[in-house]
Amino acid sequence: MKHPVLVTKRIYPEAIDFLRQHAELDYEGTDEGLAPTALLERARGKRAIVSQLTDRFSADVIAQLDPCVRAICNVAVGYDNIDVSAATKKGILVTNTPGILTGTTADFAFALLMAASRRIAEAHEFAHSGKWTRWTIDLLVVQDIPHRTLCIIGMGRIGQAVARRGLGFSMCIVYTDSQPVELDFPAEFVSKETLLRESDFISLHVSLNDSTRHYIGEAELKSMKKTAILVNTARGPVVDEAALAHALRNNWIAGAGLDVFEQEPRIHPELLACRNAVLAPHIASASVATRTRMSMMAAENAVEAIEGRQPPNALNPEAAAAAPGA
Ligand code: DGY
């Protein structure tokens, strides 16, 4: 017997084919997805939900979910859109898609680092403007990248992958995290204060939670070097966007490369006006192969859950014991 699964928004077709083989599928194949009330309605009678980072599963939404729902399978490594502890109490497994987007995301973080520091966006705009009339010795000059300090905030999988790319550019790596991490490459563990003071490039790789919300705010931006570049491919609210726009406008730091924003898809108007900010629409993991694998991994997690097995990427395996009838 196939169990019912809801997919809240369009995902890659391979994952849909797989789900059709193993589940009775209710597929909202649009890019708009479902409004909160429609989501609760469509979740009725479902055993699992394949969700995306734009679906909000607050404690309140989870309380209203049909008790049939046994798993929420996010097509993302981040899961700040889901109140995992509320889900656990209700016996709902939550899964994510770790590991498979590491390289693609790290590539993009490094691309933002390079774009912001080598002023690629400004150069592109200038070349297209028709204002380039002569070659000059100091047109769009910058500081070199090699031998400068790259700081990683959050030395998990993606942080390490970015650090490795930095080593390829002969950068010195420093990092901070809740504790030192065992690494197979040279990197120095430092305090947040030291890191902000000494880093040329800062790349954020923490997940969003109460302790990381506005981790970078006015005080942090003030303590950074004037030549520093900040890169954020983690989650928008890790940075106080208004403070960052102010810092960029007033040259407290040299530039920023941002893929994520506090209120996506809205970007703070003052950031839009900053020429020293390279901005992207949350696409760090956006390669065809990676997004296909993420869709498949979420679908596989959902099938494991509805067939009564532990999904490989369960964030709260203890939820199974709290499930109704467990
Ligand atoms: C994630 O997976 O959390 C990214 O933000 C989207 O790929």
Average pLDDT, the chain: 97
For a mutational test of ligand 1's pocket, the pick from 11, 52, 53, 290, i.e. the residue with the most ligand atoms closer than 8 A to its C-beta, is: 53
% the chain with pLDDT above 90? 98
- Among protein residues, the one with the nearest Cα to ligand 1's atom 3 is 78
Is 124 catalytic? The answer is no
Residue 215, Cα to own-chain centre: how many angstroms?
A: 15
In this structure, are residues 75 and 295 in contact, taking their beta carbons and an 8 Å threshold?
Answer: yes
**Contacts with 135 (C-beta within 8 Å, 6 or more apart), sequence order:** none
Element counts in the chain: helices (H) and strands (E): 13, 12
Give the per-residue pLDDT at 320: 85
- Cis omega (within 30 of 0) for bond into 265: yes
Dump pLDDT digits (tens) for 98-113. 999 999 999 999 999 9
Amino acid at 245: A
pLDDT at 323: 82
Question: Per-residue pLDDT tens for 16-36?
Answer: 999 999 999 999 999 999 999
pLDDT value at residue 321: 82
At 324 the pLDDT is 80
Catalytic residue among 3, 148, 165, 235: 235
Residues in the ligand 1 pocket, defined by CB under 6 Å: 53, 76-78, 101, 285
Atom of ligand 1 nearest to the CA of 78: 3
pTM of the predicted structure, to 2 decimals: 0.97
The band of 209, judged by pLDDT with boundaries at 50, 70 and 90, is very high
β-strands 188-189, 229-232 pairing? unpaired
Q: What is the pLDDT of residue 326?
A: 72
Q: What is the DSSP string of 122-176?
A: HHHHHHHHT---S--TTTT----STTSEEEEES-SHHHHHHHHHHHHTT-EEEEE
From 197, 264, 309, 318, the catalytic residue: 264
Q: Which two tokens stand for residue 161?
A: 């992958």
- Residue 270: its pLDDT value, please? 97
Task: Assess whether pLDDT exceeds 80 at residue 325.
Answer: no
For residues 297-325, average pLDDT = 94
Mean pLDDT of all residues in 168-172 = 98
1 or 156, which is more confident?
A: 156
Instruction: For 81-91, write each residue's pLDDT tens digit.
Output: 999 999 999 99
What is the pLDDT averaged over residues 212-217? 98
Inter-residue contact 92 to 71 (CB < 8 Å)? yes
